[in-house]
């Protein structure tokens, strides 16, 4: 019998990328999508939005996930909540525990309750609504072992403490400094959420100097994206460990990822980008409780 110590290291530590794993996502169709207010620098209410095109692009994104074998749940969109399509902002779900959202902008505030109800109806037993402003997976990025947490524009730093208490995971705060990258998920995403050796990609210029040093220390082999890749919301990607869904314009990033063995699936999200959102913003990951977990 081969002990773990005797096992060849090459087998114990697979090369990048990691194993793809099947995911469960929550999405909201952009039925009532418009840009009628401006709460980030991407949003210009004078610029027309083609809702049919937005819907077609969104469906394509959903179909892409399904073709990869992932499960997509859908929440019913609500009239008058044009940003509800950005599901990632409404919950952080780790090991079946849900921390809901509290939006900074009044225009988005009612979304939080629709999502809270969805989680309760789906049978999630631990659904906690935050006290502090908390835009969920917009600013919380789970690496498999750490919860990276953005602040500076939307989510309050106090929400980071709340997330650590409610979700029971270690939180690392990162300060965002460029208003175009107002949520952490517009500047950083996880390629592989292996708890031991996670891999991420990010745009360094979106962070304060200290936070850049933290990222370098934690992720010395991260993929660093260019300003051009960031400017098309290329860091708003979604990966299952092998397949990476990226905005089609993020060509340099796609090349870097292919060179590391990832399979890149480009999607066109031009209409949703008019509201400052990309693939990840439309995608809330539902991370189930591990069977070994005893919830206490």
Q: Which of 28, 232, 281, 282 is catalytic?
A: 281
CA atoms of 289 and 241, how far apart (whole Å): 19
Concerning whether 281 is annotated as a catalytic residue, the answer is: yes
In what order do the strands lie in the sheet containing 171-175? 140-142, 147-151, 171-175
Point out the residue whose Cβ comes nearest to ligand ARG.
281
H or E element that contains 148: strand 147-151
Closer residue to ligand ARG (CB): 18 or 86: 86
Asked whether 61 and 282 are in contact (CB, 8 A), the reply is: yes
Give least dist CB 91 to ligand ARG, A.
Answer: 11
Nearer to ligand ARG, 68 or 105 (CB): 105
Q: Which is nearer to ligand ARG, 17 or 138 (CB)?
A: 138
* Cis peptide, bond prior to residue 246, ω within 30 of zero: no
In Å, what is the CA distance from 176 to each residue of 10, 55, 182, 249?
A: 37, 30, 7, 23
Active site annotation includes 28: no
Annotate 76-108 with DSSP letters as a single string: ---TT-GGGG-GGGG-EEETTEEE--B-SSGGG
- CB atoms under 10 Å from CB of 145, counted, come to 13
Q: Least distance in Å: CB of 139 to ligand ARG?
A: 8
CB atoms within 10 A of CB 64: 18
Handedness of CA 289, 22, 229, 104 (dihedral sign): negative
C-beta closer to ligand ARG: residue 38 or 263: 38
Q: Which of these is catalytic: 28, 183, 243, 282?
A: 183
Coil, strand, or helix at residue 131? coil
Q: Which CA distances in Å does 210 have to 74, 175, 207?
A: 39, 8, 8
Closest to ligand ARG by CB, 254 or 269: 269
Q: Which residues bind ligand ARG (CB under 6 A)?
A: 39-40, 43, 83, 86, 88-89, 108, 138, 183, 185-186, 275-277, 281
In whole angstroms, how close is the CB of 275 to ligand ARG at the nearest point? Answer: 4
Strand-strand pairing, 127-128 and 97-99: parallel
User: Using the 8-state DSSP alphabet, how is residue 186 labeled?
Assistant: G
Residue closer to ligand ARG (CB basis): 194 or 201: 201
CA distance 260 to 244: 12
CB of 71 to ligand ARG, least distance (A): 20
| Distance in Å, CB of 125 to ligand ARG, minimum | 26
Minimum CB–partner distance for residue 33 and ligand ARG (Å)? 10
Q: Active-site positions?
A: 183, 281
């Amino acid at each position: 019998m081969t002990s773990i110590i005797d096992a060849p290291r090459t087998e114990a530590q697979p090369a990048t990328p990691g194993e793809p794993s099947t995911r469960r996502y929550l999405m909201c169709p952009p039925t009532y999508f418009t840009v009628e207010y401006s709460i980030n620098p991407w949003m210009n209410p004078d610029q027309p939005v083609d809702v049919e095109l937005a819907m077609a692009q969104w469906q394509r994104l959903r179909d892409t996930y399904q073709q990869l074998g992932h499960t997509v749940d859908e929440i019913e969109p609500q009239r008058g909540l044009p940003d509800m399509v950005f599901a990632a902002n409404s919950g952080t779900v780790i090991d079946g525990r849900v921390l809901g959202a509290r939006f900074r902008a009044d225009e988005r505030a009612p979304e939080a309750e629709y999502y809270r109800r969805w989680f309760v109806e789906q049978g999630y037993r631990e659904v906690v609504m935050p006290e502090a402003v908390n835009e969920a997976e917009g600013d919380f990025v789970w690496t498999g072992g750490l919860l990276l947490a953005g602040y500076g524009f939307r989510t309050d730093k106090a929400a980071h403490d709340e997330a650590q208490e409610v979700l029971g995971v270690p939180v690392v705060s990162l300060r965002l400094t460029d208003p175009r990258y107002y949520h952490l998920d517009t500047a950083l995403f996880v390629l592989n959420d292996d708890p031991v050796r996670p891999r991420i990609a990010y745009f360094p210029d979106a962070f304060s100097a200290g936070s850049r040093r933290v990222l370098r220390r934690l992720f010395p082999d991260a993929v660093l994206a260019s300003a051009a890749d960031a400017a098309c919301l290329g860091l708003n990607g979604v990966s299952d460990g092998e397949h990476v869904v990226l905005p089609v314009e993020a060509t340099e990033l796609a090349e870097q990822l292919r060179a590391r063995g990832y399979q890149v699936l480009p999607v066109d999200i031009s209409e949703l980008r008019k509201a400052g959102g990309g693939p990840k913003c439309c995608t809330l990951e539902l991370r189930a409780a591990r069977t070994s977990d005893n919830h206490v």
